């Protein structure tokens, strides 16, 4: 058997878990030992990829239990193995997989909780960049403020869900409240970002979410504020902007590394 | 900008594999580790605390980068995007040593299986691996060290055994050898062979680094299989094999790997101290 075919068939056999007798016949080991020896590699592959998903989706694992998570993750691994050897990026497709996974349709909010966990993972590994400071903002001439396009720090992620994903996530933290106390009828907008090496997350008010989304869309400040004010009558730009600056959500105007 | 500095040399001492749970210990205070080795693929992110920690620590400890994803045994050739990522990483970090495995992990359709899968030691495989090593050495502009794998099965079709295959590879590509003594032991026992036997035929003159680690023993219907899980202290017979290897190679940098059930840092450092004892008992390379 040529090397390419040998590798292709072993890959299929390892991921799908089926036995390939023609492949096993290539081995010098006694025939009754071959399946068991191959199983070491199958276990290694599954364990390695499962560990990556467990590390990225700890709350999803708590929500559905270890056994169910393992079965679900292995089904995902078999269908969507990583296609590059950079495993901190593996799992981006798990939320969409969960949304369509028949056995879990009774938990309609699960996929959005997974999206939140993936956003945390992405924030942890996002590029570093300097932050916009009040001092730097003050150097912008007032005549240019309306046309200013503020940029989000590369670690910032914005999520909107019809479910209380932040509350569900929070109830699975060591100091979180009970899951039973979460009102599943509440939609939430959540902000995730990294500051000083730590990933943070909090709820966003309607106006805050809209403003940050406009920044992400590269909208000039004056246009962004006009759009946001139309949606949130209580919106107060100075308050919101001051909080954005103190939390390090905006990128330096000069785009330099920090 | 990161300043470019000369590659700090890894001394013939025991180093440890730097793992995420120990980063806070290293960032809080200097640790008695002679040098550090990292898995290259764990530091390819654009940013974040781990990358920042390594950027800092590389200034304080000589560094070795151990790749676990280049898949030198892939019949389809190397993943060019990954080769470019690693090239950029090594350019930035300037590690003293760079290593990969005699194994494959990327299937022809591009799936990455996250394990070091076995190769038949045939002429076709030799051509594939030698071409891939040449390409990587050219891209990195440096000698690559190739590690002997732990294996659990053997192919009938073979033109060489593993020791002769590695000697042939070193001859054809000029690559160095990262001799993993635990893998040598695990593979030999899994195939009912004598772990000392390959030492006469391995290209020991090309050894630039040695690995040691713990392994697990699993009962099967046909006796025990040893699993290279890096999840415990180095086993007694592996220490003895290390002594036999060092007696032939002379002192070399020895790395202690511990990847599952990772203990507190002092436990790992104590293993390194023990390896240093074995190194101190060794005279310099004969001849």
pLDDT in tens, A5-35: 999 999 999 998 889 999 999 999 999 999 9
Domain boundary among A107, A140, A165: A107
Is a pLDDT exceeding 50 seen at residue B3?
no
Is a pLDDT exceeding 80 seen at residue A219?
yes
Q: Is B47 on the interface with A (CB under 8 A)?
A: yes
Q: Is residue B1 part of a domain?
A: no
A177 and A76 inside one domain:
no
Provide the number of structural domains found in chain A: 2
The whole-angstrom distance between A48's CA and the closest CA on chain B is: 6
The whole-angstrom distance between A55's CA and the closest CA on chain B is: 13
Q: What are phi and psi of A11, to 5 degrees?
A: -60, -50
Please report the pLDDT score of residue B249 as a whole number. 97
The whole-angstrom distance between B251's CA and the closest CA on chain A is: 33
Average pLDDT over residues B256-278: 98
Tell me the CA distances in angstroms from B110 to A4, A40, A109, B68, B82, one per residue in order: 12, 22, 32, 16, 12
A187 and A211 inside one domain:
yes
Contact between B157 and A26 using a beta-carbon 8 Å cutoff = yes
The whole-angstrom distance between B229's CA and the closest CA on chain A is: 9
Provide the number of structural domains found in chain B: 1
Q: Is B48 on the interface with A (CB under 8 A)?
A: yes
Q: Is B200 on the interface with A (CB under 8 A)?
A: no
Strands B254-257 and B207-213, sheet pairing: parallel
Confidence tier at B6 by pLDDT (50, 70, 90): very low
Q: What percentage of chain A's residues is helix, strand, coil (to nearest 5)? A: 55, 10, 35
Bridge partner list, B227: B216
Residues in chain B closer than 8 A to A127 (CB atoms): 46-47
A140 and A158 inside one domain:
yes
Q: Pick the range with the lowest mean pLDDT from A251-255, B5-9, B147-151, B185-189.
A: B5-9
ipTM of the prediction:
0.95
| Interval B170-183: pLDDT, tens | 999 999 999 999 99
Is a pLDDT exceeding 80 seen at residue B23?
yes
Handedness of CA B224, B227, B233, B235 (dihedral sign): positive
* A100, two tokens: 């369509």
Q: Pick the range with the lowest mean pLDDT from A231-245, B62-76, B141-155, B198-212.
A: A231-245
Cα–Cα distance for residue pair A33/B168, rounded to 1 Å: 30
Q: CATH number of the domain at B216, please.
A: 3.20.20.150
Q: Determine the structural domain holding residue A208 and report its residue range.
A: 109-258
Is a pLDDT exceeding 90 seen at residue B243?
yes
Question: In chain B, positions 201-220, which contact chain A (CB-CB < 8 Å)?
Answer: 220
A46 and A127 inside one domain:
no
Q: Is residue B78 part of a domain?
A: yes
Strands B254-257 and B63-66, sheet pairing: unpaired
Q: Is residue B88 part of a domain?
A: yes
The whole-angstrom distance between B275's CA and the closest CA on chain A is: 28
A95 and A184 inside one domain:
no
Q: Is B46 on the interface with A (CB under 8 A)?
A: yes
A76 and A148 inside one domain:
no
Share of chain A above pLDDT 70, in %: 98
Domain boundary among A68, A91, A107: A107
Do the beta carbons of residue A193 and residue A156 sit within 8 Å? yes
Please report the pLDDT score of residue A177 as a whole number. 85
Do the beta carbons of residue B111 and residue A83 sit within 8 Å? yes
Q: Token match 């000083």: residue?
A: A196
Do the beta carbons of residue B273 and residue B265 sit within 8 Å? no
User: Best residue in B114, B215, B219, B260 to probe A by mutation, most A CBs within 10 Å?
Assistant: B114
Confidence tier at A232 by pLDDT (50, 70, 90): confident
A157 and A258 inside one domain:
yes
Q: Is B110 on the interface with A (CB under 8 A)?
A: yes
Cα–Cα distance for residue pair B126/B171, rounded to 1 Å: 11
Handedness of CA B148, B178, A44, B225 (dihedral sign): positive
Contact between A81 and B113 using a beta-carbon 8 Å cutoff = yes
Q: Is residue B184 part of a domain?
A: yes
Of A4, A14, A44, the CB nearest to B75: A4
A71 and A151 inside one domain:
no
Task: List the single residue in A with minimal CA-CA distance to B41.
Answer: A86
Is a pLDDT exceeding 70 seen at residue B5?
no
Domain boundary among A59, A90, A107: A107
Contact between B113 and A36 using a beta-carbon 8 Å cutoff = no
Handedness of CA B236, B240, B243, B245 (dihedral sign): negative
| Interval A134-171: pLDDT, tens | 999 999 999 999 999 999 999 999 999 999 999 999 99
Residue count of chain A, please give it.
258
A166 and A98 inside one domain:
no
Please report the pLDDT score of residue B286 as a whole number. 54
Its pTM stands at: 0.94
């Amino acid at each position: 058997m040529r090397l390419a075919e040998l590798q292709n068939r072993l890959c299929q056999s390892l991921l799908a878990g089926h036995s390939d007798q023609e492949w096993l016949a290539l081995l010098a080991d006694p025939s009754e030992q071959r399946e068991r020896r191959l199983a070491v590699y199958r276990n290694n592959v599954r364990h390695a990829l499962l560990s990556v998903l467990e590390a990225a989706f700890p709350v999803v694992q708590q929500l559905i239990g270890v056994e169910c998570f393992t079965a679900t993750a292995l089904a995902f691994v078999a269908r969507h193995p990583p296609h590059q050897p950079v495993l901190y990026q593996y799992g981006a497709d798990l939320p969409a997989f969960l949304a369509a996974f028949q056995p879990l349709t009774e938990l309609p909010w699960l996929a959005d909780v997974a999206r939140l966990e993936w956003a945390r993972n992405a924030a942890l590994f996002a590029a570093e960049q300097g932050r916009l400071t009040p001092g730097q903002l003050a150097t912008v001439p007032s005549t240019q403020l309306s046309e200013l396009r503020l940029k989000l720090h590369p670690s910032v992620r914005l999520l909107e869900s019809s479910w209380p994903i932040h509350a569900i996530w929070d109830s699975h933290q060591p100091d979180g409240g009970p899951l039973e106390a979460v009102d599943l009828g509440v939609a939430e907008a959540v902000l995730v970002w990294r500051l000083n090496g730590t990933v943070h997350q909090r709820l966003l008010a309607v106006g805050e979410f809209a403003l940050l989304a406009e920044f992400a869309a590269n909208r000039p400040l004056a246009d962004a504020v006009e759009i946001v004010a139309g949606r949130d009558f209580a919106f107060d730009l100075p308050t919101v902007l001051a909080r954005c600056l103190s939390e390090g959500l905006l990128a330096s105007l000069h785009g330099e590394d920090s | 900008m990161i300043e470019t500095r000369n590659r700090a040399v890894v001394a013939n001492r025991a180093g440890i594999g730097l793992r995420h749970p120990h980063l806070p210990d290293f960032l809080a205070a200097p640790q008695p580790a002679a040098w550090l080795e990292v898995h290259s693929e764990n530091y390819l992110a654009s940013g974040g605390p781990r990358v920042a920690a390594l950027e800092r620590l590389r200034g304080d400890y000589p560094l070795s980068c151990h790749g676990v994803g280049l898949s030198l045994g892939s019949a389809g050739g190397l993943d060019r995007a990954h080769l470019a990522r690693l090239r950029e990483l090594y350019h930035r970090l300037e590690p003293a040593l760079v290593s990969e495995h005699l194994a494959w992990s990327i299937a022809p359709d591009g799936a990455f299986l996250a394990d070091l899968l076995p190769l038949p030691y045939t002429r076709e495989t030799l051509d594939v691996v030698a071409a891939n090593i040449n390409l990587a050495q050219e891209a990195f502009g440096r000698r690559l060290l190739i590690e002997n794998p732990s294996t659990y099965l053997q192919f009938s079709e073979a033109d060489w055994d593993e020791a002769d295959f590695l000697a042939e590879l070193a001859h054809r590509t000029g690559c160095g050898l990262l001799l993993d003594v635990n893998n040598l032991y695990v593979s030999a026992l899994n195939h009912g062979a004598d772990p000392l036997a390959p030492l006469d035929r391995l290209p020991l003159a090309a050894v630039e680094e040695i690995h040691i680690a713990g392994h697990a023993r699993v009962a099967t219907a046909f006796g025990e299989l040893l699993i290279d899980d890096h999840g415990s202290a180095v086993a007694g017979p592996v220490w003895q094999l290390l002594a036999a290897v060092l007696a032939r190679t002379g002192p070399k940098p020895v790395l202690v790997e511990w990847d599952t059930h990772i203990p507190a840092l002092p436990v790992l450092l104590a293993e390194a101290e023990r390896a240093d004892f074995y190194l101190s008992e060794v005279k310099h390379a004969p001849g």
